[in-house]
Amino acid sequence: MWRIALFGIAYLLVAAFAMPAGADELSDFESARRAYEKQNYTKAAKEFESLVGGVVPRARNPVVRLEARKYLGATYLFLDEEEAAREQFRRLLEEDDEYDIDPVAFPEAVVQTFQRVKSQVEIERAQEKAVEAARQAQERSDEVEQLITQQQRITALEELAGSETVERVNSRWIAALPFGVGQFQNQNKRLGIMFAVMESALLAASIATFVGHNSLRNETPTPDELGRAERVERALRIGNWVSVGGLVSFYVAGVIEAEVRFKPVIRTTRKRDLPDDLPATDDERTEIRFELGLTGGKLRVDF
């Protein structure tokens, strides 16, 4: 009821202070309302249509325009033009979604039709708001996904820029060297260490036995020591043969293994130091915030 009273006061103020063009609107509105009250609905409809009919209504005063639409909608109902009446009520609510009709001043059929239109308009507006909220949420989701994708791309580029691949070309000649050199070239460190240790030990043994065996030539053992000297000479000679044979065997085995598992190219990846004064990217200045309150949560993306 208070809205109707406010509309009445506004109507009186407009009537008292309106310019000549507004006075014409008011006089036309009063004429149309008198025809409505006299139940001359055909005349009332024509006069109300002259105020608010068409795409652009002639009535510029918002109070006159709303009142004219209300009465025109009621007039259409009396003329059995319900769709036209609903259209006028809809346009009225598009201008003022809180407008209401006084159930005392208008018949129940007019009030019920207006309320049905108002309910439908409220449902449509709620649906529009839901669709808009879903669209905005999808846009925020797309923005966050784009930011994540960009950050992943930047991270991948930083990793690519922070490392380099080094190629080392191996040699068959180096693979033929002793002491596990071929294994080390193929990056087989365990076998390289084994061949290096075994060949070094056998080489040392062969040298020691050879030197020891040659040193016996300068000795002149007595008859009592001749037997022992022969045993020592035999042991050193056999030891030398065994150590040399073992050395040759390990050398050949190492060369064969290195040649069979020969790797023409060895590729390794190493880190590359990036400069500290690189400019910050836009993504590094982007913050994604999740806020939760008593009325719900929301997502913010700050740039």
Whole-number pLDDT of residue 45: 94
User: Of the segments 80-84, 170-174, 192-196, 294-298, which one has the largest average pLDDT value?
Assistant: 80-84
pTM score, whole prediction: 0.45
Residue 298, helix vs strand vs coil: strand
Q: Which amino acid is at 203?
A: L
Contacts of 239-244 with CB under 8 Å at 24 or more apart are 239/205, 239/209, 240/206, 240/209, 240/210, 240/213, 243/202, 243/203, 243/205, 243/206, 243/209, 244/202, 244/206
Model confidence at 302: pLDDT above 70 = no
pLDDT digits (tens, 9 = 90+) for 53-93: 888 889 999 999 999 999 999 999 999 999 999 999 999 99
User: By the 8 A CB rule, do 95 and 65 touch?
Assistant: yes
CA distance 104 to 108: 9
Question: What angle do helix axes 41-52 and 62-78 make, rounded to 10 degrees?
Answer: 150
Pick the CATH number of 2-106 from 3.40.50, 1.25.40, 3.40.30, 1.20.58: 1.25.40
Q: Which residues contact 278 (CB under 8 A, 6 or more apart)?
A: none
Least confident of 126-140, 191-205, 249-263: 249-263
Q: Tell me the pLDDT band of 283, cut-offs 50, 70 and 90.
A: very low
In the beta sheet, which residues pair with residue 164? Answer: 270
Q: Is 12 helix (H, G, I), strand (E, B) or coil?
A: helix
- Comparing 278 with 19, the larger pLDDT belongs to 278
